[in-house]
């Protein structure tokens, strides 16, 4: 029974509602989020936790001019529902539909297109500084979770904001959880803050009394401000934030709209950097999401039948962590690091918790930590999603490659990730790692090859990265030759064309070869295995024998694997007969992985069509 939500066409409509109606609206919004996420998939827990918080924010501010920046943005569904996107909500995360994250193309209410953690305080501070410099007069609010606030970038921004004294409200949305439980000393500190309710009442009273003290000018005002701050700090448990230059308020109950509204009204015109600590419950209103935070952080869409070739096959991620755990059972020096994505090393974590490090959403630190572990004689394997490894590019250069350290980077979700969209597609890693001296880059076609690559990478004692996609692992191929550094594998031979495929594209290339055979074309398929060092000898020799060649990669064409082949051929074989298939130079929208692969011609039919076209052009 929804009767209020259909009347909400803009946040102005929220402001007209009474408190009971706002609470009823919160219930309706929860129902709508659960309904749509059940069918389309999406971030359930975080969105159910921020319903009242979002309503109260829109009630107290005017975000058609004020600015609201969500950290990550995976909690923005209520915001979408009440900022004119209710009717499209049905299309959430579907190709051509609403994005699952804030998106500046979608709405003026979204100042940024986001999906990565830790950035909101920085970008909000920039907005606030801009407002102050341009005398714009808009308020700026950043909402950041207790997991994301521990990211380096968030800390850098807090540090800067506190020193600038710019007007900025940071809402700390504390639900005690990241994807799994929040980790780190800061998380312990927030627990202490949460457990001091009586203290907070006292603080609130004294805060009011302090605010009643007369407003004075000049030095007297400064002196009084100091005294007020000293009293506040000495009686408040938000000391750490206060020491960083923030006024700290809270913790308040993030599900009591009345209290939220009162507090926002109180803090809105305070001036200077303010941090409001709001306690919410992840998954609120949905029993399973309330009790299984990790599993229900993000949920898959209603069961769609899997492609026949991957039906009932385990995922690459699970296979990786199981094989790594097996390797670690034989070698006590092997350790893993992940950054708040516990699934990527789950099997390892279960068996060897003492050798598994999770510093939270801190990719830069994760790489630095690996450098230290490697120097101490351990064999660290850092497992990160491709898109999040981007956050640690310089650490890979400076802390690992420049030192020539034996760190293995497992690049999970390398390629098109599907409905999370452009913030999450992992398509740049080949390009941003390929030019780093000392680095070895490889990608397996199947799980047995991944196991061999992993063993080899750990044994080589040098910087290595292995990429694998967000997908079910394909059926193991009948043979898996030994993995030799910089050596490719020829899977089938034919005179009509050469397909050089990398990693996840090897199986589609083999299927394309089958299709081509039916059309009378006999092609060679090379499993490149390495993007660096490239098997130049094998590639050049095959190029000589083939009238045309197609490189296929699930990554950006600019600077990617195909570029490496072109560079290799430029010296001797010539490049005119080489075509490249991969991700073009634009951000790829959201959609299912299958839809996106098809759109980019990275499925068997697309590869076969590209080969045929190349052959036709060559024949002219
Ligand atoms: C740079 C980066 N690393 C990892 C992630 C994956 N990620 C998405 S949400 C999330 C947890 C965020 O926790 P918190 O800020 O507490 O918000 P909550 O999910 O609890 O609402 C993580 C790790 C990400 N989005 N960006």
Q: How much distance in Å is there from the Cα of 176 to the middle of ligand 1? A: 12
Helix axes 257-268, 19-40, angle to 10 degrees: 100
* pLDDT tens track for 222-237: 776 666 655 655 556 6
More confident site: 307 or 336: 336
Classify burial at 304, counting beta carbons within 10 Å of its beta carbon; exposed 0-12, middle 13-18, buried 19 or more.
Answer: exposed
> Of all protein residues, whose CA lies closest to atom 21 belonging to ligand 1?
46
Predicted confidence (pLDDT) at residue 201 exceeds the cutoff of 80: no
Is residue 593 lining ligand 1, measured as CB closer than 6 Å?
no
Categorize the per-residue pLDDT at 177 as very low, low, confident or very high, splitting at 50, 70 and 90: confident
Question: Measuring from atom 22 of ligand 1, which residue has the nearest CA?
Answer: 179
Q: Ligand 1 centroid to 117 CA: how many Å? A: 5
- CA 451 to chain CA centroid, Å, is 26
- 471 phi/psi in degrees, rounded to 5: -165, 170
Mean pLDDT of 67-71: 98
* Mean predicted confidence (pLDDT) in 203-213: 58
pLDDT for 310 equals 63
Q: What is the pLDDT of residues 549-602, one digit of tens each?
A: 999 999 999 999 999 999 999 977 677 789 999 999 999 999 999 999 999 999
For residue 179, the model assigns a pLDDT of 82
CA distance 260 to 55: 9
| pLDDT at residue 197, as a whole number | 55
Grade residue 191 by pLDDT with cuts at 50, 70 and 90. confident
Ligand 1 pocket test: pick from 69, 116, 117, 384 the residue with the most ligand atoms within 8 Å of its Cβ: 117
Span 442-485, pLDDT tens digits:
999 999 999 999 999 999 999 999 999 999 999 988 888 999 99
Q: Cite the active site residues.
A: 282, 363, 391
Percentage of residues in the chain having pLDDT higher than 70: 92
Within a 10 A sphere around the Cβ of 85, how many other Cβ atoms?
20
Least confident interval from 72-81, 85-94, 103-112, 610-619 = 610-619
pLDDT at position 278: 97
What separation in Å is there between the alpha carbon of 362 and the centre of ligand 1?
10
Strands (E) in 146-272, as ranges, are: 168-174, 247-253
Mean pLDDT of the chain: 92
Predicted confidence at residue 202, as pLDDT, reads 45
Full-model pTM:
0.93
Q: Report the 10 Å Cβ neighbour count for 583.
A: 23
| Whole-number Å distance between alpha carbons of 620 and 610 | 16
Give the C-alpha separation, 482 to 453, whole Å. 9
**Mean predicted confidence (pLDDT) in 252-257:** 97
* pLDDT at 576 (0 to 100): 73
- Closest ligand 1 atom to 71 CA: 15
């Amino acid at each position: 029974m929804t009767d209020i939500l259909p009347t909400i066409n803009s946040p102005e409509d929220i402001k007209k509602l009474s408190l009971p109606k706002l609470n009823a609206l919160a219930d309706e919004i929860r129902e709508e989020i659960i309904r749509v996420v059940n069918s389309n998939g999406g971030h359930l827990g975080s969105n159910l936790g921020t319903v009242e918080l979002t309503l109260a924010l829109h009630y107290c501010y005017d975000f058609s001019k004020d600015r609201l920046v969500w950290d990550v943005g995976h909690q923005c569904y209520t915001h979408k529902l009440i900022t004119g996107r209710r009717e499209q909500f049905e299309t959430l995360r579907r190709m051509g539909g609403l994005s699952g994250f804030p998106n500046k193309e979608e709405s003026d209410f979204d100042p940024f297109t986001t999906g990565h953690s830790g950035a909101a305080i920085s970008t909000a501070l920039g907005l606030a500084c801009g407002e102050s410099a341009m005398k714009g007069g808009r308020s700026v609010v950043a909402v950041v979770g207790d997991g994301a606030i521990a990211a380096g970038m968030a800390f850098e921004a807090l540090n800067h904001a506190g020193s600038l004294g710019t007007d900025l409200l940071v809402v700390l949305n504390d639900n005690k959880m990241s994807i799994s439980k929040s980790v780190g000393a800061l998380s312990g500190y927030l627990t202490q803050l949460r457990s001091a309710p009586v203290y907070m009442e006292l603080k609130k009273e004294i805060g009011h009394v302090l605010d009643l003290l007369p407003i004075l000018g000049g030095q007297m005002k400064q002196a009084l401000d100091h005294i007020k701050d000293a009293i506040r700090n000495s009686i408040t448990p938000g000391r750490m934030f206060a020491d960083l230059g923030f006024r700290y308020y809270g913790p308040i109950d993030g599900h009591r709209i009345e209290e939220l509204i009162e507090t926002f009204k109180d803090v809105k015109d305070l001036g200077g950097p303010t941090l409001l600590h709001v306690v919410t419950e992840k998954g609120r209103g949905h029993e399973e999401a309330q009790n299984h935070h990790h599993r229900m952080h993000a949920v898959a869409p209603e069961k769609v039948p899997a492609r026949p070739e991957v039906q009932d096959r385990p995922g690459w991620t699970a296979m990786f962590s199981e094989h790594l755990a097996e390797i670690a059972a034989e070698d006590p020096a092997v350790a893993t690091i992940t950054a708040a994505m516990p699934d990527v090393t789950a099997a390892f974590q279960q068996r060897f918790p003492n050798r598994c490090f999770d510093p939270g959403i801190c990719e830069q630190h994760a790489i630095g930590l690996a450098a230290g572990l490697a120097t101490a004689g351990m064999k660290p394997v850092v497992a990160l999603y491709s898109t999040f490894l981007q956050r640690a590019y310089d650490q890979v250069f400076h802390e690992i490659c420049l030192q020539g350290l034996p760190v293995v980077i497992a690049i999970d979700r390398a390629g098109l990730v599907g409905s999370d969209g452009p913030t999450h597609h992992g398509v740049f890693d080949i390009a941003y790692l390929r030019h780093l001296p000392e680095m070895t880059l490889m990608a397996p076609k199947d799980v047995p090859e991944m196991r061999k690559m992993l063993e080899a990478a750990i044994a080589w004692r040098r910087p290595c990265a292995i990429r694998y996609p967000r997908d079910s692992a394909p059926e193991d191929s009948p043979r898996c030759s030994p993995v030799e550094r910089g050596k490719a594998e020829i899977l089938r031979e034919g005179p009509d064309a050469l397909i050089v495929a990398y990693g996840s594209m090897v199986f589609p290339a083999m299927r394309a070869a089958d299709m081509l055979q039916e059309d009378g074309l006999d092609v060679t398929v090379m499993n490149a295995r390495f993007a660096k060092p490239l098997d130049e000898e094998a590639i050049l020799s095959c190029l000589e024998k083939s009238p045309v060649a197609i490189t296929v990669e699930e990554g950006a064409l600019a600077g990617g694997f195909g570029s490496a082949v072109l560079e290799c051929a430029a010296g001797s074989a010539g490049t005119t007969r080489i075509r490249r298939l991969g991700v073009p130079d634009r951000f790829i929208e959201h959609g299912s992985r299958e839809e996106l692969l098809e759109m980019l011609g990275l499925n068997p039919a697309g590869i076969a069509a590209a080969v045929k076209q190349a052959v036709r052009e060559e024949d002219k």
